[in-house]
Amino acid sequence: MSPAGRPGAWASELDAAAEVAALAGRLLVARLDDAGTVAFKGVRDIVTEVDHASEALIRMELAGRFPADGFFGEESGRDAAVTHRTWVCDPIDGTINYANGIPFFCVSLALVEDGQPVVGVIHDPIRAETYAAAADGPATLDGRPIAVSTKERLVDLVMGLAVGGRAPATRTRRVRRAIRIPRQLGSAALSLAYVANGRFDAYSQTIGLSAWDVAAGGLIAERAGAVVTDMAGGPWFHLGAPTAGMGILAAPPAHHATLLALRRAP
């Protein structure tokens, strides 16, 4: 049975992903005040010893359960062997938050089959919450089905809004003026999960995302009823996309087209 309490084609994988993400989450909490050495991966991106430890734990646990599957982690990269099933992992999404003691981060884990996410789990170890979905079932939070916001007016939306790359400021200002309030919390995966249960009405990031940032969260938001696309209105997931080269918009069906137009207009 899946975490939603129903059988499905990926029930065993969904259960395993939830268990493994929770194991990694316990490691994150235990090391919260002892993240170890912090290294810089880019101008605004860091990695800690705990990122590596969490990913190693996840890789080991999955290899024991699904030895034929591939693995693609943010820190260790992608397995050389070609396989139609690949686990995509962000061992700490929100590392800057984690390293600074800001309690908004998560473990993100997805199974990708033939290029598409079919299982997604996001575990928030601080709130002890697990979001989960499979491609043939509902999105859940701790086993209970969840759904996106049903607010009717665009002006009432609370939106996770992150700007990456060289997105023109005018586009961002248009969205800010159209909604009630923007929030940028530092974890794309957890923000997408918040869209799935209506804590955020929508989430958008223009660029700067990688496969491990969106694989689980995009699927969970989609199965909760959101329309999820890239910033051109096309498919939101590409396993082979360049690192930090993806954008995403997840929003309720009533508002997705309008928000997309506001972000895309010159």
pLDDT of residue 69: 96
pLDDT of residue 1: 41
**Res. 250: pLDDT tops 80:** yes
Q: What is the mean pLDDT of the chain?
A: 90
What does the alpha-carbon distance between residue 11 and residue 18 come to, in Å, rounded to a whole number? 11
pLDDT of residue 33: 81
**Res. 213: pLDDT tops 50:** yes
pLDDT one-digit tens code per residue, 25-67: 999 999 998 765 655 555 455 567 899 999 999 999 999 999 9
Amino acid at residue number 209 = L
pLDDT of residue 82: 63
pLDDT one-digit tens code per residue, 150-172: 999 999 999 999 865 555 577 78
Which residue has tokens 């590409």? 238
Pairing of strands 38-40, 46-48: antiparallel
Strands of the 85-93 sheet, one edge to the other: 77-78, 70-73, 85-93, 106-113, 116-124, 129-134, 140-141, 144-145
pLDDT of residue 174: 86
- Please indicate whether residue 7 or residue 129 has the higher confidence score (pLDDT): 129
Among the listed residues 217, 219, 247, the one whose alpha carbon sits nearest the alpha carbon of residue 233: 247
**Res. 4: pLDDT tops 50:** no
pLDDT band at residue 146, thresholds of 50, 70 and 90?
Answer: very high
> For 174-202, what is the mean pLDDT?
95
pLDDT of residue 263: 81
> For 129-133, what is the mean pLDDT?
98
For residue 14, the SS3 value is helix
Contact yes or no for 149/157 (Cβ under 8 A): yes
pLDDT of residue 227: 98
**C-alpha torsion 137→70→66→14, nearest 10:** -20
